[in-house]
Each structure stands twice: as structure tokens, then as C-alpha cells.
Chain A
Amino acid sequence: MADAVLEVSGLSKTFDSFTAVDDMSFHAGKGEILGLLGANGAGKTTVINMLLGIVTPTSGSISIFGKDLVASRIEVLRRVNFCSTYTQLPGNLRVWQNLDVFGRLYRVPDRRERIDEVLELLEIAHLKDRVSGYLSAGESTRLNLCKALLNRPELLLLDEPTASLDPDIADKVRKVVKRTREEEQNTILYTSHNMRDVEEVCDRVVFLHRGKVLVTGTPDEILRHFQEETLEDVFIRVARGGDIEPARPSSEGHPERAS
């Protein structure tokens, strides 16, 4: 894949006898928002952790910006960032202090201006001097997103960024994600349980089921493939072990079935 920012090939992760990720392959091009969709235990977070170098794959390869992640981890991570519902920034530090530290770690030029910029973007500039531990869940998630956007990442990994957010804030987050992609032309990998997120934000979706890639395609292609009206229906059907029959051969306008 010539213009792939992210290329995952034959990726597997086994913990003793449990296979969390099984021979997964997918790619994401420049400026693309790729959704990683699947029920709990499908392997989404394990994949994200492998893409960040926090978990080592059992087999397979990860190439980011054309570089092997294992061989060029630090170089690659300078151009990547992430936001996960499972992490927080230290609650004892003020909002600006947390962003200042990560701005330095990611070597952000014009750090102070950039911090103000991302705080404005996520509409929490008024909380700049607030102690992070006193933020509400929604404010805390937006602070995490500020950290994730600080270095203008060329590859942004978002692990359930709208979990625990009310519909208003979730909508704002989705808009920020789309706006970032439009302005920065960055590649975004987006996992979510919220099907509205996926339908609204993602250009393409990789549907995971029990550690395997079940099907890949645009949201419309996936709906056509499963002959369902909403992604939520597809999600429920797959999660309950419904149709995971072999698909039609991959062609124009049809989703690609994982081999």
C-alpha cells in the first residue's frame, strides 16, 4: 500500500492459551478516519496498545509512516498520539501543567501557544488553571484529547473517546475529530461502542470479532453486506454470533472479507 500511513500485517497476540488478536491485517491512508469496531473482547484495545508499542505482538508486523514500529519506536511515536478512556492525566497537576509536560515530551514547537490553541479547540480554555483531578468526566476526557492533539499527530489513535460523555459533549468531540482531520490531514484510528460515532466520523470500518478482522468497508458497504439498516443492528448481530458467513468476493463497492 503505497500511501498507507499505517499498515498492519498478520498481527497476532496470544496470552498463554488465549488469542486476543488473530492474524489481523488492515491499513489506513493519509487523511483517513478508520473505525475499529467490535464488541468487548474483540481485540480493539490490544491492537491500539500494540500500535503504541506498549504491548509486543506475538507475530506480524506494524509499519507506521513506512517505518517498522519495533525498529523505530521513538521516532514513530513523536508523530503519533493517543487518547484512551482508560487513561488519565495526573489529577494533582493543573490542566496547563499536564499539557506543558506532555508538550515538552513530544517536543511541541511554540508550546504555550499550542496549549492555548487546543484548550480553545476543546472549549476548556477557562479550565487552564484548574486542578485536573477536579474536572468532570467530560472535561477530563476533553483534557485527554487536548494532550492527544498537542503535537499535531500525523497518526491519532482514539480509544473510545466519547465513552462517558453526554450527547452534547460527544457531538463536540466528533466535530473536533473531523475538523482536525480536515485541517491537518492526519490519519485517525477510532474505536468506539457508539455506532453514531462510527457512522458520523469514520470513512472506513474494520469490523472485529473475537480477535479477527471480520469485514472491512465503508459504513454503507457494511450495512449492505449484512443487509441491516444501522451499524448498531450489525454490531448486535455479530456480537451475538449471528452472520459471520464468508462474504461475497471483494470488488468495487463491496466490503473486503478478511481471508
Chain B
Amino acid sequence: MSVNTIQALVLRYLYLYTRTPIRMVELVFWPFVHLLVWGYLTMFLQENTGDDFPYEITYLIGAVILWDVMFRAHQGVSIYFLEDVWSRNLLNVFAAPVTNGEYLASTYVVGILRAAITSTLLVALSLLLYAFNIFRLDWFLIPFVFNLLLFGWGLGMLSTALIVRWGPAAETLAWAVPFFIQPFAAVFYPVSGLPVPMQWASKMVPCSYIFEGMREVLQSGEAPVRELVLATSMNFLFLGGAGVLFLRVMQVARKKALLTKFSTQ
């Protein structure tokens, strides 16, 4: 794997974003709106619920920030691929001396950059508007973010594999896939709040342990060791599985000439 090749692919993305700053709106505007909605809902609930509420309600703001880390990592992979489809550049990239590993690594880096931009904004605004300090999660923030990046990358590869397999008509999956799993991810409510069959599904989603862990840290300050171990193990398995699926679909794409269809449709 060549670092220079990965750098070149990331540089292409940076050129794109610095050339057309309007693209930054997507990284800033929607997360900001999301934070406003959930932030003011949090304040409203704080003022109108008594001590009976079993959680510190501000976890909702933490959930918005952490969800966005995962979402941006996912988009780093899936939108990166679509940028080449939209600009009819896909064949130029795949006919260049770029391995699948280098291509994927560059999308991971782009995912980190996207997540960093959005979460920096959200962290600052949540502190300013709602006095919510995400650093209350202390050092647990590091494994939480790491796990959400892993899950986002895995989900991004899954979305991209489906888009490659089903063609340009499936490009909406680049946005939709994270929302398919959101009800099971326990982002805004605990797993125990779901009906029992959905709880089982939720336990299969690695990031649900991260959001459970976040609530535990905010509520009790205790280390969510079990959640972190489960999330990390499941995430590595998921990432590996998504990687195998992505490589398999790329093989099928070469066999069925699917990549060339993106240039002509």
C-alpha cells in the first residue's frame, strides 16, 4: 500500500472542497440544524421533567454529536465514490495504478476529515448554546469516536458495494443506509426502551453499545468496559465483513463491466 497514492487521492478531495466551498454547507448546515432541534428539545425536557427521569437528559446532545461522527465517516466512503461517478471520472481512477486497499484507505482518511470538521463545530456550539461539554466523557471519548469511525467506514463500504452492484439508481443509499440502522442503534433512547424483538436486533448493531456506554458515563461516570469490548470486537468483525463484501462486489463489477456503466448512464 502506497502512502503517496493515498495522499494523492485525499488531495483530490481537498482540491474539490477548497475549490467549491458551497460543499461545506453539507458538513455544517445539516449538523447545525440537527443540533438546534435536539438541543432545544433537551432544554424543554429538562425544564419539564422531574427527577424521576432515569437519565441525565443532556445525553441527547452528546448523541447528536457522536451520531454525526459515524454519519460523516460513512459519507466519507460513500460520497467519495459518488463524486467520481458524478464527474464521470470513475474509469480514470480505476484504470490508474490504484489498489482497492489504497482507494479504501483514502476514503477512510476523508471520513476522518469530514467527521473532524463537523464534530468540532458541534462540540463548540453545544458548549456555547447548551453548556454541554462533550469532554465530560473524559478519555472514553477516544474509544467511542474510534468505534464510531470503524462502524461508519464499514457502513460506507456496505453502501458503496450496494451502489456498485445496483448502479447509479441506488445512489440514494449513500445517505439512507445509516438511517436504516438508526432505530436499532439506540442513539436517542436506551436499548431497553425498544420492544424485545427490536432489542435483539439492536444488540447486533455495534454502535448501539457506544451510545449505551455514553449514557452510562454521563449518568454514573463508570467505565463502560463491557460495552467497549463488545463494540470494538463487533466493529472489527463488521469492518472485515464489509471489506470482504466490497472486494467481492468489485470483482463482480469487473466481471459484469458494472464500472463502465457508471460512465454511460
Interfacial residues, chain A to chain B (CB-CB below 8 A): 15, 45-46, 49, 52-56, 74-75, 77-78, 82, 84, 86-94, 97, 100-102, 104-107, 131, 147
Interface residues of B in 70-97 (CB under 8 A from A): 83-84, 87-92, 94-97
In the docked arrangement, what's the CA distance between A87 and B9, Å?
18
Whether B87 contacts A54 by the Cβ 8 Å rule is no
Q: Which residues of B contact A15 (CB under 8 A)?
A: 256-257
Rounded to whole Å, the gap between the CB of B99 and the closest CB of chain A is 6
Given contacts A87-B88, A102-B96, A104-B8, contact A56 B254 (CB under 8 A): yes
Given contacts A93-B16, A97-B15, A105-B97, contact A54 B260 (CB under 8 A): yes
Cβ of B127 < 8 Å from any Cβ of A? no
8 interchain residue pairs of minimum CB distance: A104-B8, A90-B87, A52-B95, A77-B97, A56-B254, A101-B12, A88-B88, A97-B15
Whether A94 contacts B89 by the Cβ 8 Å rule is no
Interface residues of B in 122-169 (CB under 8 A from A): none
In the docked arrangement, what's the CA distance between A72 and B7, Å?
23
Cβ of B226 < 8 Å from any Cβ of A? no
Which residue of chain B lies nearest to A88 when distances are taken between CB atoms in the complex? B88
Cβ of B11 < 8 Å from any Cβ of A? yes
In the docked arrangement, what's the CA distance between A120 and B16, Å?
25
- Cβ-defined partner of B263 (8 Å) among A77, A78, A87: A87
Tally of A-B Cβ pairs under 8 angstroms:
99
Q: Which of B90, B95, B99 has the most chain A CB within a 10 Å cutoff?
A: B95
In the docked arrangement, what's the CA distance between A214 and B231, Å?
60
Q: Which residues of A contact B90 (CB under 8 A)?
A: 87
In the docked arrangement, what's the CA distance between A89 and B15, Å?
13
In the docked arrangement, what's the CA distance between A48 and B12, Å?
26
Rounded to whole Å, the gap between the CB of A97 and the closest CB of chain B is 5
A-B contact sample (15 more), CB < 8 A, given A56-B251, A105-B98? A46-B257, A55-B254, A75-B97, A84-B91, A86-B88, A90-B16, A90-B83, A93-B12, A94-B15, A101-B9, A101-B15, A104-B7, A105-B5, A105-B97, A106-B96
Query: Count of chain B residues with Cβ under 8 Å from any Cβ of A?
Result: 34
Q: Which residues of A contact B9 (CB under 8 A)?
A: 101, 105
Given contacts A101-B8, A101-B15, A104-B8, contact A54 B92 (CB under 8 A): no
Q: Which residues of B contact A104 (CB under 8 A)?
A: 4-5, 7-8, 11
Rounded to whole Å, the gap between the CB of B220 and the closest CB of chain A is 49
Q: 29 A-B pairs, CB-CB below 8 angstroms?
A: A45-B260, A53-B95, A54-B94, A54-B254, A54-B257, A54-B259, A55-B257, A55-B259, A56-B254, A74-B98, A77-B95, A86-B260, A87-B88, A87-B91, A87-B92, A89-B87, A89-B89, A89-B92, A90-B89, A92-B16, A92-B19, A92-B87, A93-B12, A101-B11, A101-B15, A106-B96, A106-B97, A107-B4, A131-B19
